[in-house]
Structure 1
């Protein structure tokens, strides 16, 4: 792990040099120049004092001038050093390292990683820490320069008495103790990440409009605030205890160093009293001793900051390794057109942390060009089936084949590029209205013909007409835009799913849950017509997922799921004639929605 960390630090310095060579070279030069300023000042003061004792005003003035110049130069370089490092940390950390983390998350295939608490804990640690991670390599450089300065100071002290070199041993003690404390802090950051994430979620829940209405009506706001404080206290308490332990280790190390330092000073005073050192040696040694404390403190601080970067290394390396390990899937290109369709052979899937399969031994065939409806009660596995077919999850048992080829052999991104879907939990993108539709096919984000086609497919023309700036209307009140109703957001999602004109699989997962009955009927009529058009052009399969049995009667094939199992399949007429679960539930819903007489 240490080697990987050092390699990471070197890579960050290379990145800084490649992107911003002039500031990087300037900062390196400042760090090197800062090595000699303090030793030069100490040496010049010793020369000046000896010259005063010899009654040599010219040499005394030259020594004093050199000491003053070295001191002023050191202060100036320190200020410029801080400014350059902050600038590079902002540019590299925020613009590149944060993007590196975000790109890793985006490239991890599927969705199951977003439900893993171990990954989310590490992302929580990395969130907002890009600046600190880029700060670490420059602190490593600073530590190396401080060590060189420390070496020069100790060399000067050795000219007074070699016994003072023993201070170097005592200087290493605080470093070892500080590392122990840093490890405790790093462990606490990860251990308390879940509680920290929970309190942030509760805070957002209590302060955002979506949850605010229900909290106020139910009177649960105080309870949410109490839970948020509890989660915050838990996170802070764990981190505080770790920092207290770290401070105790640091205090112990500095106490031992102080004892050694006091012994060294006593030795210097004794030699001076016995006439074994000149007045200049005394001033040099005292100056070095005072500077030595600051230099050792700066060295330990820089080393501590560089080593502290390891608190971010573990989650970053874990994320890199996880992303590499999850780059599964084949490289085959999906077919240009479906010939036979999609088959499922004893497909099974169980969500992490659960024992009940979400899908169990599902076997069926989805013919090319067909409209397939998936029905069942809530929790029957309908949406899980959609996630598997869209390659957002990988089934753990069985096989899914596309025209006879295993879906696992296809490039996941390539397959999803031939899929269009309107999901039950659709996104609400607070960007321009035209863009929130256009992201359904990024290659045609601003294509007016595609946008017009998608809007008409979702019967959203009237919605566009009511918007103040049409397709250019900004969405979301937080951005001084327009807020849409739930039904309008759903129409937007339907339009987004209609941007692609050549999908092989077109999924509508509860596409009308937020729409009224007349709108629902018209939407289904439109998309059944679109399904026939897609079938003629690409052999596409249109899958409609619904818990409303009456809306899927026109499908070519109906799958009935119950507790993760496929219990029935066939046409609407066949399933009614069979008198099984479909017929029973269809009858219940028909009675429930029958008009009152």
Structure 2
């Protein structure tokens, strides 16, 4: 069963833990750069107060006639101003370098690990998961940048503290500016929270418009759209989805802008109100000119500090949507693993086989089960063919056997042990499969095949053996650079036909030396008859070899009945159940559904 959607722990502890994790990641990747950045931000915070004090000393020196003292103080003020400008540029450059390096590489990898850490496929069909994936899939940069923005906020708080301390030495009443300073911060955070919420709420519409855009611009869907003349309809649908996504996000951004305007109006009112009494005291001779200069300088600095802090808080809060989505996905992954990942070891070889008892399964978001009360036994070492009409549950069955989904009801037993209790990663490591909707990995040919067993990814002899098993030697010989040939036109590589891609997928499925389950789901749907015959001859021989080695159960799903006549067991599925089972001869003799369907196909493929 799928784990329920997680409730991510509240409070600031989760943010603090993630912040420490991100800064620690930066420290491990670039220790000296991290230490330098922290030092720069601290010195820059203190330097603001130093500038204000130097300006005060300069003015007081001029008033007293202390030319030398005024000159020294003025030089110090100029030096601190120059240092501020230098530190600002250095801070920006080092921060961007850090974020580009760690965010684009390390965090992008971690985000992929979170998404790929879910062993099943059902999460990829759940809207609440896909919405978060949409938010975080390019969010590595934002996560690391947000972490350093938090450091900037802390540095800004230090700067604000020193600023307020200086204001208090002039007049305690000026400390009331702190209250007005908090208003834009609070209002801006509220507005940014609305923006983050809107991005998650509109993720589905955003994902839909991107899908429609890809349909129109990629060759696979583009050819059908052009032939059918549906380009205008697809464009209109994409525009409507885009408008829906943008409308929700724009409303949130306008609301955030309104909050920001109100906050700054209130701060400006407090700023002016605080300066008027101070200027009045100076006009009556009750305060020094240096105090006035210090107060104005510090007050202006306070305004700039508040503005900078608000901007940084906005960036931090703007990253909150990515942070929340990332934390949600991590919690979801942990809960899913706890619910689905068994701990029992996978057997070294099958002795009894695979038994399904009362299996019922419904895809997420659908109301009708695709498998309903399915019972069958797949003997160890057997070649099992699964046939049936479209929609009978053939592909759903193999997905459950591969533990990409788990049954809603019933059990799947491996030599008597519930598959749910076996370690999922270990079961996947002992499974080989070529699916009907096979992947087209546009990398080098040798890597495309080698991914079938990553431990032997660079083992050219193993890759070549898998190519031979898939009857793909002729394809390899035609490639200009052999195994090093880049595949895919979008990467200036060689494009393959549908049949050649399928042979590549079959080769990839042949990489594992000793699987316990070997699945071929419509393995020759894109191949011609001679290639289909050669493939099945080779894979029947491979199945017999695997049977003697580890008792492998080979499951072949096919809509062409003529290709499965040599199977040890044929399962005929209808409406999610096993309607008939037996050998080819037994099922023909029974004269049931299999015999009827076989006869129809035999007539259809008979020469006219």
* Contact 2:189–2:313, Cα closer than 8 Å, also in 1: no
How many Å apart are 1:452 and its aligned residue? 2.6
Asked if the contact 1:5–1:310 (Cα under 8 Å) also holds between the matched residues in 2, the reply is no
Aligned to 1:418: 430
The answer on whether the counterparts of 2:362 and 2:408 sit within 8 Å (CA) in structure 1 is: yes
The reply to whether residue 138 of structure 1 matches residue 124 of structure 2 is: no
- Residue 460 (structure 1) aligned to one of 472, 477, 480: 472
Determine the structure 1 residue equivalent to 2:313. 303
Mapped partners of 2:427, 2:164: distance in 1? 66
Q: Where do 1:163-562 residues align within 5 Å?
A: 163-327=173-337, 328-562=340-574
**Partners of 1:374 and 1:559 within 8 A in 2:** yes
- 1:329 is displaced (CA, Å) by 2.4
1:299 Cα deviation (Å)? 2.1
Matched residue of 1:521: which SS? helix
User: Displacement of 1:193 after TM fit?
Assistant: 0.6
CA distance in 2, matches of 1:500, 1:134: 39
Q: Where does the alignment leave 5 or more consecutive residues of structure 2 unmatched? A: 1-9
Q: CA deviation at 1:199?
A: 1.4
Instruction: Tell me the distance in 2 between the aligned counterparts of 1:99 and 1:350.
Output: 32
Partner of 2:578, secondary structure, is: strand
* Structure 1 residue 591 corresponds to structure 2 residue 590: no
Deviating more after overlay: 53-62 vs 420-429: 53-62
Q: Deviations over 1:403-446 (max 9, x none)?
A: 11111121111112221111101111112222211211222223
Q: Is the 8 A contact 1:271 1:277 kept in 2?
A: yes
Contact 2:195 2:318 in 1 (8 A): no
Distance, in Å, in 2 between the alignment partners of 1:448 and 1:67 is 68
CA contact (8 A) 2:375 2:577 kept: no
Contact 1:341 1:403 in 2 (8 A): yes
Measure how far apart 1:472 and its partner are.
2.2
Match of residue 58 from structure 1: 68
Shift of 1:250: 1.4
Q: What's 2:6 paired with?
A: none
Contact 2:388 2:574 (8 Å CA) reproduced:
yes
Secondary structure, counterpart of 2:581 in structure 1: strand
Q: Aligned pairs, how many?
A: 596
CA contact (8 A) 2:380 2:553 kept: yes
Matched residue SS, 1:98: helix
Rounded to whole Å, the distance in 2 between the matches of 1:456 and 1:593 is: 29
Q: 8 Å contact 1:439–1:445 — kept in the other structure?
A: yes
Residue 37 of structure 1: which of 47, 51, 73 is its match? 47
Could you tell me whether the CA contact under 8 Å between 1:380 and 1:562 is conserved in 2? yes
Q: Counterparts of 2:196 and 2:153 in 1: how far apart (Å)? A: 21
* 1:276 CA drift (Å): 1.2
What is the CA-CA distance between 1:76 and the residue it aligns to? 0.7
The Cα shift of 1:157 comes to 2.0
1:518-554 deviation per Cα after TM superposition (whole angstroms, max 9, x unaligned): 2212221221122122212221111110112222121
Taking the aligned partners of 2:572 and 2:315, their CA distance within structure 1 comes to 59
- Report what 1:580 is aligned to: 592
RMSD, matched Cα:
1.5
Distance 2:88 2:22 in 1: 22
Taking the aligned partners of 2:407 and 2:43, their CA distance within structure 1 comes to 60
For residues 444-478 of structure 1, what are the alpha-carbon distances to aligned partners after superposition, in whole Å with 9 as ceiling and x for unaligned? 22333322322222111221222222222221111
Distance, in Å, in 2 between the alignment partners of 1:534 and 1:347 is 27
The 5-angstrom pairing of residues 93-112 of structure 1 reads: 93-112=103-122
Measure how far apart 1:333 and its partner are: 2.2
- CA contact 1:342–1:402 (8 Å) conserved in 2: yes
Match of 2:59 among 49, 53, 57: 49
CA contact (8 A) 1:167 1:264 kept: yes
Worse overlay, 582-591 or 73-82? 582-591
Q: Which runs of 5+ in 1 are unaligned?
A: none
Find the residue that maps to 2:170 and give its secondary structure: coil
CA drift of 1:491 comes to 1.1
The alpha carbon displacement at 1:208 in A equals 1.4
Q: Distance in 1 between matches of 2:581 and 2:329?
A: 42
Asked if the contact 2:445–2:483 (Cα under 8 Å) also holds between the matched residues in 1, the reply is yes
* Post-superposition offset of 1:91: 2.0
CA offset digits 1:46-102 (Å, max 9, x no partner): 222222222221112112111111111111111111111111112221222221111
